[in-house]
Amino acid sequence: MEINKILVGIDFKVSNSQLIKLSFQLAQNLNAQLTFLHCYHPNADDLNTQKEDPEKYHLQELVKLIDPFAVGFNEVDFGYDVVSDFVVQGLTQYKEDDNYDLIILGKKKNESWIPIKSNSIRLSELISTPVIIVPEDFRLIDINHIAFNLEFEFKEIEKIYDLLIFCNAFNAILTCIHVTDAKSKIEAQNNIGVYHKLFEGHILEDVINFELVENANGRELEFFAKDNEVDFLVLSKTRKTWHNQYLKSKEEIISEQISIPIMLLDF
């Protein structure tokens, strides 16, 4: 998971300050190039006399929004762009055209009684690139503790090594947690033992640990994150099947429960 280019989606209708700060922080620590992208769809408001050139207007607004946050990040190579398109389609195409390694998006709280899927979740379902979803009420302090929801799949081992490199950029510790129930607890303990042997050296260096968490009505990751001061939660994307394609995904549910960024990885 080498991250050299980061694409950040900006929506003028929500608060972006924490999203922008986090993006600069990630780009600085990962030594990555940063692009802020605003997608707009022309409407009647864009056609008034003050916006004879909608693209120029939106770009100016984007620059005014981003530049104040760039102070203090002089070494970060960043830029901005706007495209006339719907958010999901515009970001997806832009990402494909320039081969970005990481997408960062904000997520507004759904205050409607209608269960509307956010653009960030919709986009994450369409691409294989890692996506970081930043809740609107997130407040950036430091990234010291990252938690990864372990499912005991073989491909996760490679991702754990990738996450250790990611954590190293922030001097953060990685906790791999697996949610289990009473019936599966013994098997889960055996699996954790295997991971302990695989990562014994890293455990001794105190950069990673593994924990079992008992099922708590679907809120165990939320409780763990709060109780252990987790700054970042990493999840594997839910595989879509005929049985679950119309159901809320795990990542969508959790993104509504917690107020820290969630990184979604594709397996």
- For residue 45, the domain's CATH number is 3.40.50.620
Q: Does 252 reside within a domain?
A: yes
CA distances from 135 to 22, 82, 127, 262 (A): 12, 22, 20, 9
Give how many domains the chain has, as a whole number: 2
Domain membership flag for residue 266? no
- For 46, which DSSP code? G
- Domain termination site, one of 72, 105, 135: 135
Does residue 152 share a domain with residue 104? no
Question: 13 and 118: one domain?
Answer: yes
Q: Where in the sequence is the domain holding 216, given as residue range(s)? A: 145-261
Distances (CA, A) of 194 to 94, 133, 155, 199, 205: 41, 31, 14, 9, 18
Residue with tokens 């820290």: 260
Residue 56 lies in a domain: yes
pLDDT in tens, 117-173: 677 777 888 888 899 999 888 887 789 999 999 988 888 899 999 999 999 999 999
Distance (Å) of CA 41 to CA 37, 75, 110: 13, 33, 21
> Distance (Å, rounded) from C-alpha 21 to C-alpha 104?
12
Considering only 48-57, 169-178, 207-216, 258-267, which range has the smallest mean pLDDT? 48-57
Q: What is the pLDDT of residue 170?
A: 93
User: Do residue 187 and residue 165 come from a single domain?
Assistant: yes
Q: What is the mean pLDDT of residues 88-116?
A: 79
Higher per-residue pLDDT: 226 or 124: 226
Q: Is residue 69 assigned to a domain?
A: yes
Q: Indicate whether 167 and 240 sit together in one domain.
A: yes
- Return the beta strands (E) in 215-261 as ranges: 232-236
Same domain (yes/no): 104, 166: no
Structure confidence at residue 131 (pLDDT): 92
What pLDDT is recorded for position 47? 58
Whether the pLDDT of residue 108 is over 80: the answer is no
Q: Which of 135, 165, 185 is the last residue of a domain?
A: 135
Do 161 and 217 fall within a single domain? yes
Residues 46 and 129 grouped into a single domain:
yes
Q: E-strand spans in 59-172?
A: 78-84, 102-107, 131-135, 145-149
267 within some domain: no
**Is residue 200 assigned to a domain?**
yes
Shared domain for 63 and 167, answered yes or no, is no
Burial class (CB in 10 A: 0-12, 13-18, 19+), 206: exposed
Query: Cα separation of 266 and 127, whole Å?
Result: 8
More confident position, 233 or 16: 233
Specify whether 109 is located in the same domain as 211: no
Which token pair is 121? 């979740």
pLDDT at 240: 56
Of the residues 135, 157, 175, the one at which a domain ends:
135
Within this chain, do residues 130 and 9 fall inside the same structural domain, yes or no?
Answer: yes
Rg (CA), the chain: 20
Cα separation, 175 vs 198, in Å, equals 15
Query: Is 158 inside a domain boundary?
Result: yes
> Is 175 in the same domain as 201?
yes
Asked if residue 113 and residue 20 are part of one domain, the reply reads yes
Does the residue 216 lie in any domain? yes
